Structure 1
């Protein structure tokens, strides 16, 4: 027996409405914009680079990684964003819609910086890891150089300790 057309339409409409609310609930944290740009409320992790401490936002979902630091007008010097991927592979980043000049550190599972790349704002130039990595840490341009941190330096923190 088939449902009556009215019942079918009402059920279908209810499911569509419920799906819309579920989608909105899932996307609301990803679309949280503040006056300083998107994604200001991501989970954070404390990292270390020698004696220097970093307060890094964690971009772990594909949507969070895609948005990254886009549209931000400023970022405190001790802050950054760490991008976490499911598996190590060559990671390439660009700066479309990113207003801040940044340096990307491509980081191995054990926290070793594989290579660094200075990136100009609002460009689509590709900046890639020299070998497969799972992590990329973006900081204000020049932060690593000012601290004497280069390829081969190690970062510390709970993200890397879990992989050792």
Structure 2
């Protein structure tokens, strides 16, 4: 019996170790063929984006990602509009988090600090959250109230 327990413990450690190593690899999603456009007071800005539209993809997001292009981001797509909360526990890059309502308008812009377990939860309903490198919103002139356009956002905004 002791050998069986020892074997099971070893197996659990091997599987757990493999899972841990896998979990620390960044998730790289394909770039969506359509760019995301931000309509700002300073003009239109274009971003290539990855889409996190499943629970698993949203849970992993940009975790463990160490770099990202200045004009690149990840769009989190949810089934409904409500208050959202994010954290940066396993994310080494500082980020801008743009909380976007079902109408495609930016409701809040928050800063995400690397490895922080503090909740990022503005008092704003969002159906989408766009994560960009920290400082991108300010650098490109994106402000609360600006409209983001992308086929996934536009489909909800037109039906809303």
Regarding TM over 0.5, the answer is yes
Between the aligned partners of 1:106 and 1:155, the Cα distance in structure 2 is 11
Equivalent residue for 2:120?
Answer: 127
Equivalent residue for 1:104?
Answer: 97
Does residue 48 of the first structure (1) align with residue 41 of the second (2)?
Answer: no
Question: What secondary structure does 1:93 align onto?
Answer: coil
Does residue 146 of the first structure (1) align with residue 139 of the second (2)?
Answer: yes
Q: Verify the 8 A CA contact 1:93 1:127 in the aligned structure 2.
A: yes
The total of aligned residue pairs comes to: 131
Unaligned runs of 5+ in 2: 1-21
Between the aligned partners of 2:23 and 2:83, the Cα distance in structure 1 is 29
Equivalent residue for 1:80?
Answer: 73
Following superposition, the deviation at residue 46 of structure 1 comes to 1.5
Spell out, residue by residue over 1:53-87, the C-alpha distance to the aligned partner (whole angstroms, 9 max, x if none): 01110001111101000001100011000111111
Equivalent residue for 2:7?
Answer: none
Q: Verify the 8 A CA contact 1:42 1:59 in the aligned structure 2.
A: no
CA-based RMSD of the aligned residues comes to 1.7
Between the aligned partners of 2:118 and 2:75, the Cα distance in structure 1 is 20
Between the aligned partners of 1:66 and 1:105, the Cα distance in structure 2 is 17
Unaligned runs of 5+ in 1: 1-30
Which has the larger Rg?
A: 1
Following superposition, the deviation at residue 126 of structure 1 comes to 0.7
Q: Verify the 8 A CA contact 1:32 1:41 in the aligned structure 2.
A: no
Between the aligned partners of 1:55 and 1:74, the Cα distance in structure 2 is 14
TM-score w.r.t. length of structure 2: 0.76
Following superposition, the deviation at residue 132 of structure 1 comes to 1.8
Between the aligned partners of 1:52 and 1:129, the Cα distance in structure 2 is 24
